[in-house]
Amino acid sequence: MTTAFLNGEFLALEDAKVSVLDRGFLFSDSVYEVIPYYDGRGFALDAHLERLARSLDMLGISAPYDLDGWRTILARLVEANGGGDLAVYLQVTRGVPERRDHRIPENLAPTVVAFCQDRPPHDPTALENGIAAVTQNDTRWHYCTIKSTSLLANVLAADAARARGANEAIMVRDGAVLEGTSSNVFAVVDGRLVTPALRDTILPGITRGVVLDLAAREGIDHGEPETLSVDALREASEIWITSSIREIFPVTRLDDAPVGDGRPGPIWTRMRRALQAMTDE
């Protein structure tokens, strides 16, 4: 039986119900985090929780717990689900008003939901051969820095990518590369590892930050240019996508053309080993 957390109570996942008036359901008036656990230990847990706090603050939703409170809840939840390798989904909505209204009501008690899912191992074939990605015009709203549950544009873009035989869509706006539908984007351009500088249209990914820290530790030349053009991306010798669940994945085909020599590159191999060493600590 999978155990969930709902508004202060631990209960069976199938018994966790929220009101149809919940603003998260009606308006996507909510934020979330997905936190990977390795052998029962949260990876970059505080960074995830600090980003959650920032997202709540940007939407004006009262934080229902402080960092210690979140840590305690998640530790109990993971333990109740047997520990091991898990992905913990955590969502906070503005709460349940008395009636549906676009205007934001005052003094609502936030709804808090958390549950666990198995975190399956990566497909070794995909790691060996890489995955395909396509570029796509970005139709999302301008506040992607908030980890909001308003993900319909991301879902549709990802589905369109799958229809084109790709694993991910890389969002492009005014000729500039931003991020994937559920990932950040890295590229090796002229021997330098780059990822677009953070802005409102890019989520500050936790794994993105870890990769930049690891690059500095490994002595790899890297940077965050204000603009990474689509043309530069297409000329890159390596392209990666990063996320908490995917970790670092090599993209070896972009818009039906090979990236570099069409194989995962040496810098990706080095960085993946460094990240694996972190998760094993």
pLDDT tens by residue, 145-156: 999 999 999 999
What's the whole-number mean pLDDT along residues 162-181?
Answer: 97
Quickly state the pLDDT bin for 192 (edges 50, 70, 90): very high
Joined together, the tokens standing for residue 84 give 């091991």
Query: What proportion of the chain, given as a percentage, has pLDDT over 70?
Result: 100
For the question of residue 17 being annotated catalytic, the response is no
pTM: 0.95
What's the whole-number mean pLDDT along residues 70-82?
Answer: 98
Of residues 153 and 121, more confidently modeled: 153
Q: How far apart are CA 20 and CA 141, in angstroms?
A: 25
Tens digits of residue pLDDT in 48-67? 999 999 999 999 999 999 99
Q: Which residues are within 8 A (CB) of 25 and not within 5 positions of it... i.e. 6 or more apart?
A: 18, 19, 93
For the chain, which domains are there? 3-118 (3.30.470.10), 124-280 (3.20.10.10)
Collapsing DSSP to helix, strand or coil, 276 comes out as helix
Q: How far apart are CA 263 and CA 251, in angstroms?
A: 8
Q: Count the alpha carbons within 13 Å of 186 in the hemisphere toward its beta carbon.
A: 30
Say how far residue 111 (Cα) sits from the centre of its chain: 21
Q: Which of 94, 140, 147, 222 is catalytic?
A: 147
What is the Rg, in whole angstroms, of the alpha carbon atoms belonging to the chain? 19
